[in-house]
Amino acid sequence: MTDNRYLKAYTVLALALLLLCGVVLNLEERHSQLLMGESGLIEVASAVGYFVCALYMIARGGRDFLVSRGYFVVLTLLFGFRELDFDKAFTTMGILKSRFYLSGEVPLPEKVIGLLVIALIFWTVFQLLRNHFVEFLHGVKQRAPVALGIALIFFLLAFSKSIDGLARKLKPFGIETSAEVSRWAGSVEEVLELGIPIYMVLTFHAWLTRRSTKSLAHS
């Protein structure tokens, strides 16, 4: 793919996600539960997407990629496990909650494991910021496909997180939302989260293409 083709692919995917949002918002209740419910088809597809992306990174990136940029694979796998609710599936409560570490109900071994996972998350984010943040800002200014793909991933992460539990988040401001609005917000969130691993695959492919182009230029 050339640069323009990546930009077109990003646009087509964005339109496809908007179309899917329109479809799921107009589904009957039983069909909506099949697609959007807990462990529904879209949620499972999102989790599978992360693991496929991680495998693709390993297969195409090779040993050098794992040694120098293995934190990308770690982050992708963390997203996949989070999508499967591994952060709370095997512990007394979710390890991403501060109450998990302060509560006397949580056994010490669980807290230690939780802290190790948190430390891994912080390490991954630190590596990303230290090694790529300046390059990312420069790439956005240049409208580089890799940087734009990352920006779209960040946007989907931020927006989907902002509408997760919308009624709960708006309640402190005195804003009451109907059950229908909450359902719509939850459906849109699931669809947007499905787009994240797909954008990850496209962005990594764009990075591979750029690396190949640089290698040919230097050969």
3-state secondary structure of 214: helix
Reply yes or no on whether the pLDDT at 163 is more than 70: yes
Average pLDDT estimate for 153-157: 96
Taking only the tens place, the pLDDT of each residue in 89-120 is 888 888 988 899 988 889 999 999 999 999 99
In this prediction, residue 41 has a pLDDT band, given cuts at 50, 70 and 90, of confident
Reply yes or no on whether the pLDDT at 158 is more than 60: yes
Residue 21: name the closest of 161, 155, 153, 190 by CA: 190
Q: Do 202 and 6 touch, CB atoms closer than 8 A?
A: yes
Task: Return the domain boundaries, the chain.
Answer: 3-21+41-212
Distances (CA, A) of 117 to 72, 80, 110: 16, 14, 11
3-state secondary structure of 146: helix
**Residue 216: its pLDDT value, please?**
57
89 exposed, middle or buried (CB, 10 Å; 0-12, 13-18, 19+)? exposed
The share of the chain scoring above pLDDT 90, in percent, equals: 58
**Residue 218: its pLDDT value, please?**
55
Distances (CA, A) of 201 to 21, 76, 150, 168, 204: 21, 10, 11, 33, 5
Q: What is the DSSP letter of 164?
A: T
- Residues 6 or more apart whose CB falls under 8 angstroms from that of 30 comprise none
pTM for this structure?
0.90
Q: Which two tokens stand for residue 28?
A: 């009957």
